[in-house]
Amino acid sequence: MRKQLSKSWLTSLFWLRFLIIILLVIGVLFRFVNIGKKIYWGDEVFSSLRISGYMQSEINEQLSNGSLLTIKDLSKYQYPNSEKNTIDTIKGIIVEDSQILPLYILMTRFWVQHFGDSVAAVRSFSAFTSLFTFPFIYLLCEELFGSSLIGWMAVTLVAVSPIDVVYAQEARAYSLWIVTILMSSLALLRAMRLQTKVSWGIYTATLILGFYTHIFFTFVALAQGIYVITIEGFRLSKTTIYYLFSSLAGFITFVPWLWIIITNPQPEAVNWANTKQTLFGSAARWAGIFSRTFLDLGISPSDPGKLKLALIPCIFIIFAIVFYSIYVLCQRTPKKVWLFVLTLIASVGIPLFIADFVFYKRYATSRYTLPSVLGIQLAVPYLLTTKITSISTNFWQKKLWSLVTFMLITSGIISCALNSQAQIWWNKFPEKYQEYPKVASIISQGKKPLLISDDNIIPGIGMMAHLVDSKVEFQIVRKNHLPEITNGFTEIFLFNSSDFLKAGIEKIYNSKLQQINHLLWKVTKSS
């Protein structure tokens, strides 16, 4: 009998490992499949500008003079070249994007120099970085829960988590930020357990990486401090002293860049956060933020309300699972375990919640709440693993929780599959940019088209340069200036142009404008 049970257990373990490997492979494929297909949107264009080492002011000075430009001319300002070095990249961030921390930009610049400058190549650094999420969340679960099974459950859920896949395919710092949070969390717990100078030194190093990856890592570091002080009972213990030295050393290294942010602020970079929203709008956004951890059908704010209403039952189920997992975690684990998960969830969750519902800002977006999502991705695997494997759980309960696990994994796979086939997803700001691919297609159909605009080169024209055919030429002028249109073009279009430019083209060149959509006008000769 005992041999039969042992054989049955080994067989189950074999199939479990096989299933985990399959899901890992699927998760890796989702991170790379069609990685260059989606629209290269505004934030990513800014990333490429920073990688190139040029400044926006330089582009405007050199290109907004009405001369004819090819895509190759525009691409010069999107990728590294011999004219700009790493120092220029850092200078560009300091002068024009001080709130963007430099680590991701510098690492991606190095990556692009060695692996190519296509959209897929630039994004592939984020996809590659995201793969480190798997080992670090597994090790963190082992350190936190003392269970490899919970670690494998976490790895499985993260592999097909829609939110992780979305940011693994974006040329921004979010995948790197996720990895640094996991590294820092793991290093802190190990340092508290080992109490060695080496372990605390490693924790200090992870703090430095985190501080120079994302500005909101400061909230994570603060939450870690609250955790340590609370666990140590607000005493000046050996652990507290080590932590204070490590955090002080990490913070001191960040002071120079913090001084740059303070002395050279870029408030216009976050003007979007000042948009007023209703209480319902804020609540709906928060529901979307956390439900996308397991289910994401690409619904964006611009989509019809009926689609959002149809998702309410699914969102309710996901929230019920999340809240129940936190409840079970708090009930069944020691304080040092549940407090760590709660402080991670609250690290950015509480500040952004206050900004949303007290000050009526809208900083709470999926990309900023990733630390809170990571906390959920620790709590839910604990719930599922303990419910499925606990001897105190009866047969039918185990079946139920196995079904819940299957549904979460399946919803993740379906979500990632839909995402992989889409040209634009909710994170690409579709309410503003969804017309760009259509516009590019219309322009590219011409035999020898010219695109005229007085729009901002970054991001508008930069995005179009990634979408149109290589035969398209550009002519960019400053505001309140008119271009000299040369002969030889079969089609002439105005893109996102001012009323001054449209009226001037009609009057000076005796032309009529045919409006194609709110972004594009075709210039035709008057009869």
pLDDT tens, residue order, the chain (527 aa): 445 545 554 566 667 778 889 999 999 999 999 999 999 999 999 999 999 999 998 998 899 988 999 999 998 899 998 899 999 999 999 999 888 999 999 999 999 999 998 999 999 999 999 999 999 999 999 999 999 999 999 999 999 999 999 999 999 999 999 999 999 999 999 999 999 999 999 999 999 999 999 999 999 999 999 999 999 998 899 999 999 999 999 999 999 999 999 988 877 766 766 777 777 777 878 888 899 999 999 887 666 666 777 788 999 999 999 999 999 999 999 999 999 999 999 999 999 988 888 777 777 788 999 999 999 999 999 999 999 988 777 888 889 999 999 999 999 999 999 999 999 999 998 988 999 999 999 999 989 999 999 988 999 999 999 999 999 999 999 988 899 888 889 999 999 999 999 999 988 888 899 999 999 999 987 65
Q: Are 466 and 120 in contact (CB under 8 A)?
A: no
CA distance 150 to 101: 33
Q: Which residues of 292-327 are buried (b: 16+ CB within 10 A; e: fewer)?
A: bbbbbbbbbeeeeeeebeebeeebebbeebbeebbe
Look at residues 20, 337, 264 and name the one whose alpha carbon lies nearest to residue 149.
20
- Measured in whole angstroms, the distance separating CA 308 from the mean position of its chain's CA atoms is 22
Residue 389's pLDDT is what?
86
Q: Are 143 and 189 in contact (CB under 8 A)?
A: yes
Residue 166's pLDDT is what?
96
Q: How many CB atoms lie within 10 A of CB 369?
A: 26
User: Which H or E run contains 314?
Assistant: helix 312-332
CA distance 522 to 527: 15
Domain ranges of the chain: 2-32+131-428
Residue 5's pLDDT is what?
43
pTM value? Answer: 0.94
Residue 9's pLDDT is what?
47
Q: Are 95 and 264 in contact (CB under 8 A)?
A: yes
Q: Which pair of tokens denotes residue 82?
A: 């011999």
CA distance 351 to 359: 11
Residue 1's pLDDT is what?
45
Residue 474 pairs in a beta bridge with 69, 451
Torsions phi, psi of 476, nearest 5?
-115, 130
With the C-alpha atoms ordered 419, 129, 411, 378, is the resulting torsion angle positive or negative?
negative
